[in-house]
Chains A and B, each alone.
Chain A
Amino acid sequence: MTGQALLWGLLYALPLVVRSDFLLTIFIFTFIYGILGVTFDLIFGFTGQLSMFHPAVFGVSAYMTHLLAVRFALPFWVATLPSAAAAIVLALIVGSICFKFRLKTFYFAVVTLAFAEMIRLVVMNWNSVTNGTLGLVVSGKPTIYWPGSGVVPIKGPIAWYYLTLVCLTLTVLICSRCLGSWMGRCFGAIRLNEDLARTLGINVFRYKLLSFLIGCALASFAGALYGYYTGYIDPGYFSINQSMEVLAMVLLGGQGTLLGPIVGSFVLTGLPHAIDLRAEVRAMLYGAILIFTILVMPRGIVGTLFALRSKRDA
């Protein structure tokens, strides 16, 4: 535990030492994808449900936050709340259907994927609102109240670094609170053996839905942040590749841990920048690393490290 606290401390202290915009940018993307990864891991790694719905939540909240902020002149933070509510409603509809009919593993993945694709098609073709495949330019900035200088917009790598890091920390804290409580134990029971969990009196439907809702609601903030940070939203936010990328991050880092998805997100966002290669060769390398990790380190980076440590302690 102390090791993890130290790690978080280091992350908070990092901009004091590192001033390079290039590195800070990698970290900012790592944190935003980290939110997505951690929330996905809550559904997949901890509750055992392979959801493909994350890109839908991510994209819808990116669009909604921006559109609400522009049309109703709302501040960023106020606009994220209806977006999170929309994410919850969508997750409630999709989750209730899937869990009511007891769709498992493969089938759950396919049905959530189908819903995500339908939402993508709607967004892509609703030209009057979403500007279709061309996407939207986000020119606004999130603002924050800073003692002394009033409400200031968030600009520059260092401000964004702290904003995204704080959001990630909050996500991890909320998730670890949930997992540490009775909820987490129910999630684990469902992951290990759903039928047994039901026999023991756990309301499987309710806890699966709960995990799905919490994961989707928190993931919506990643979408809002991503749209505002990159300044551009397009239907690519909803693509299946996005699902695959998050899944890859979680598996590479270590499923069933909260730290794993963040490590995975760091490796997969940092790697393309660290190696200077042609785009095609880079994609090949990415594929090769993915396959290598799955076959050689099935527990992921963090899982393997934990295993090594407990072996040493024993």
Chain B
Amino acid sequence: MTQLVLGQVLNGAIIGAMYGIIALGITLTFGITGIVNFALGEFMMIGAYVTYTLAERGMPYPVAVVPACLIAAAAGYLSNKAFFQFTRNNLVNGLLVSIGLISIFESASMLLWTATPVEMHFVLPGALRVGDIGLPKMKLVVFAVIVVVIVATYLALARTWLGRAAFAYAQNPEAAMLMGVHTPRLETAVMLYSTGLAGLGGALYASLYSLEPAMGGVYVLKGMEAAILGGIGSLMGSLWGGVILGVIEGVGSVFLPTAFRDAYGLAVLVAILLLRPSGLFGDE
């Protein structure tokens, strides 16, 4: 029993880290630029499919990840220039533009790759054994990469001039501009980075699970839950939020019916929102 629970905790943490990378993108875009990018899951989908296509054509997996991030970021750049920049500080409009984009990206990928789920060949077969629990090596790699990325992002924003500029921009865009922050460039950078991250998330996802065009919608919801659980605006909160969400879902389905997997996370989210409306790690 302990072994089963422990296995689910580890598995949940790994899946949770995937939620966390989307949550990071949501938190960054919303916290800094005031734009709600609910279509982040679609950039993840793009990253996943690009990786899959390139890897199946013979490109080594670690190399294929790079164009996946770049293409996702390019799509993010275009979406920002064409649509998202007009939805600043307007939550409902951002949400609706995202819904429109989800619809467009999802159908485009259905045209390109059909709706049948596809699976990539194993990138890194084998598993490490810790006691009685087997951990697939690839899952550990994915987890490590995500944790490194999130911590690096946190450090970059907490320790550098760029981070201070971003926080200044988040608090008062006009004052930040007067202090010499190039705000349009900053906004573009945040958008590029968050969508590129989503692309990376997708590339990592492709190495573990099967892909389908509708995958983005599910993940963005989980990412949103994780971001709110951790507290919108808190970078490390997005990682913790994701991991907590993943672990709750995993452990919950050991003790309670698996069919209600998604409900366990939601129930905890609602409880936490009622007790601490700003999330676990959010200030205010």
Contacts and interface: CB of A to CB of B under 8 A. Distances in A.
Interface of A: 50, 97, 101-103, 105-107, 110-111, 114-115, 117-118, 121-122, 124-125, 240, 244, 247-248, 251, 279-284, 286-291, 294-295, 298
B132 to A, nearest CB: 31
Nearest to A132: B259
Given A280-B107, A295-B86, A121 B260 contact: yes
Contact of A294 (B100, B257, B266, B267): B100
Nearest to B111: A280
B interface majority secondary structure: helix
B215 to A, nearest CB: 15
A108 to B, nearest CB: 10
B91 A287 contact: no
A122 B96 CA distance: 28
B263 A287 contact: no
5 contacts: A106-B91, A111-B273, A248-B96, A248-B99, A291-B101
A283 B263 contact: no
A95 B102 CA distance: 29
B108 interface: yes
B277 interface: yes
B263 to A, nearest CB: 5
B106 interface: yes
A103 B263 CA distance: 20
B275 to A, nearest CB: 9
B59 interface: no
A107 B221 CA distance: 13
B270 interface: yes
Contacts of A295: 83, 86-87, 93, 97
Interface in B206-234: 217, 221, 224-225, 228
Nearest to B268: A114
Interface string B86-129: 11000111011101111110111011000000000000000000
B91 A244 contact: no
B273 A283 contact: no
Interface of B: 83, 86-87, 91-93, 95-97, 99-104, 106-108, 110-111, 217, 221, 224-225, 228, 257, 259-260, 262-263, 266-267, 269-270, 273-274, 277
A298 B100 contact: no
Contacts of A247: 92, 95-96, 99
Nearest to A102: B277
B247 to A, nearest CB: 18
A290 B108 CA distance: 16
B97 A281 contact: no
Given A103-B273, A251-B96, A291-B101, 17 more contacts: A97-B274, A101-B274, A103-B277, A107-B228, A110-B269, A111-B273, A117-B266, A121-B260, A125-B257, A125-B260, A240-B221, A248-B96, A286-B100, A287-B102, A287-B103, A295-B97, A298-B93
Nearest to B257: A125
A122 B257 CA distance: 11
A97 B95 CA distance: 24
A250 to B, nearest CB: 10
Contact of A121 (B91, B225, B263, B269): B263
Contacts of B111: 280-281
Contacts of A97: 270, 274
Nearest to A104: B277
A156 B83 CA distance: 44
Contacts of A122: 260
Residue of B107, B217, B225 with most chain A CB atoms under a 10 A cut-off: B107
A125 B225 CA distance: 23
A221 to B, nearest CB: 26
Contacts of A102: 277
Given A115-B270, A118-B267, A121-B263, A284 B93 contact: no
Given A125-B257, A125-B259, A294 B228 contact: no
A288 B267 CA distance: 35
B105 to A, nearest CB: 8
Contacts of A248: 96, 99
Contact of A114 (B95, B106, B270, B277): B270
A288 B104 contact: yes
Contacts of A124: 259
A27 to B, nearest CB: 24
Contacts of B104: 283-284, 287-288
